[in-house]
Structures are given as C-alpha cells and as structure tokens.
Structure 1
Amino acid sequence: MSFGGYLREAIHSAGFPTPTHFARAVGTDPSVVLRWLSGEQRPTIRSIERIAPVLGRSINELVLAAYPDRLEGSASPAPATHPLAVELARMLADDSPIPAADRRALETVLDRMIDPYRKVLRRRRSA
C-alpha cells in the first residue's frame, strides 16, 4: 500500500471526517496533507512525530509506511491503536477543550470500568 493510501486509512480510523479536519488538528496546512495523500510528497520525520499520536500510531509505524524504500529488513509495524483509544487520548489530553473537572470525572469512571480487567490482562501477559 502506498503511504497516501495508508494515511487516508489512518485518518479515517482516527475518526476525522476529512483530511482537512486532520490537518487542522495537527497544525499542518491542508495542502501539505493533500500532497502526502497524493504521493507528491512524503512527511518529514518532524511531521511524523507530530501526527503519529493524533492518528494513534507509533512513530516507527509511520516511518515504515512513509519510507519503506529507505529501511532495511522487514520489521513488522506495531498494531494500530483502537479508534476509541485515540479519541479518549484526545479527550483526556491537557490541551483538550473539555473542562478539567469533566476530564477528571471521565478518568474516574473509565478507571473504575476497566479495573476488573487489569488482573485478567496481567495474567495473560505473564503466561
């Protein structure tokens, strides 16, 4: 898959309705994102560092997708982060537009909901 196709899928999976919405979220001009999507240009490493967390992907995964011709070996990319995890990360981030008190309440509720599963996941990793 080309980087443009990969990026289009990642933008969609992260919940952005359009590439322009994504560009605004990462502080990049929409024309730059469109050049990435068309294959006319590839993102710089600095851009990859900025967009990876917003897409819920690792920096390594984006570098592999953008520059497969420059990397030796066939390292497998990290599994993609679930779209809900990406959305929650944006909601709970320090720069989120959600009021701090609401973010803390959301954290508390989520923490209580996932707590029973932590023990199960710890057991599975040690097996």
Structure 2
Amino acid sequence: MSFGDYLKDAIDAARFPTPTHFARAVGMDPSVVLRWLSGEQRPTIRSIERIAPVLGRTINELVLAAYPDRLAGPPPRPVPAPHPLVRELDRMLADDSPIPAADRRALETVLDRMIDPYRQVLRRRRSA
C-alpha cells in the first residue's frame, strides 16, 4: 500500500469529507496534502507530527507508512475509524470549545463516572 492510499484511508476513517477539509483542519495548504496523496511527495517528520493526532494515528504508524523503504518492520495495521462520538466529545471538551469551562468540567465528570465501571472490563479483555 502506498502512502497516498494509506493517507486516503486515514482521512476517510477520521471522517473528513475531503482531503481539503483535512488539510484545513491541520492548518496546511491543501496542495501539500494532494501531493502526498498522489505520491508526488512524502511528508516531513514535522508534518507527520502535526497530522498524526488529527488522524488518530501514532507518529510511528505514519512514519512507517511514509518511509517503508527506510525502516525495517512490518507495515502499520489499519486502525479502525473511531466512533463519531469520539470526535464530537473531543471538540466539546477541548480548551477552545465554545462550551463554558464549568459545563465542560461537569460533562467530563459525568462521562468519567459513566464509563468507569467499564474500564476494568476493557483492561481484562486487552490482557487476554
């Protein structure tokens, strides 16, 4: 799989309608992202550091996808798309959210209490 294909899948999985929307979300010129998608260019490490969190990928995954010829190791596994609520909650709880800080803290507290019983179940499942 080429980096362009990998990036296209990652952009789709992150639920961006187009590569241009993704480029704007990470503060890049859309032409740069289009050159990555076409295989004309590969991203710099600095660019990878910038786009990885937005795509929900690790820096290592993106480096392996962009530079497989320079690194030994298996290609990165595709990461399933996060649930749509994940992105929505991320925006709601972000520091720059329009929701008042007190309401964000209350929402965070309620959510934390609701998911707390499931944390132990998930920890057990991963270790199995």
Query: Which amino acid is 2:68 matched to?
Result: P
The residue matched to 1:68 in structure 2 has which SS? coil
TM-score between both structures, scaled by the size of structure 1? 0.83
TM-score between both structures, scaled by the size of structure 2? 0.83
Q: Which consecutive unaligned segments of at least 5 residues does structure 1 have?
A: none
RMSD of aligned Cα (Å): 2.2
Q: Quick check: 1:56–1:81 contact (8 Å CA) kept in 2?
A: no
> CA–CA distance in 1 between the matches of 2:95 and 2:86?
14
Runs of 4+ in 1 over 4 A off after TM superposition: none
Query: Which amino acid is 1:14 matched to?
Result: A
Residues 85-118 of structure 1: CA distance to partner in whole angstroms, max 9, x if unpaired? 7513344332345443443233223212211101
Query: Which amino acid is 1:83 matched to?
Result: P
Match of 1:80 in 2: 79
Alignment of structure 1 residues 1-127 onto 2, 5 Å: 1-74=1-74, 77=76, 80=79, 82-84=81-83, 87=87, 88-125=89-126
C-alpha change, 1:98 and 1:20, in structure 2 (3 Å) is farther
> CA–CA distance in 1 between the matches of 2:39 and 2:65?
12
> CA–CA distance in 1 between the matches of 2:99 and 2:64?
34
Q: Percent identity of the aligned residues?
A: 84
C-alpha change, 1:59 and 1:90, in structure 2 (3 Å) is farther
> CA–CA distance in 2 between the matches of 1:13 and 1:102?
29
Q: Which consecutive unaligned segments of at least 5 residues does structure 2 have?
A: none
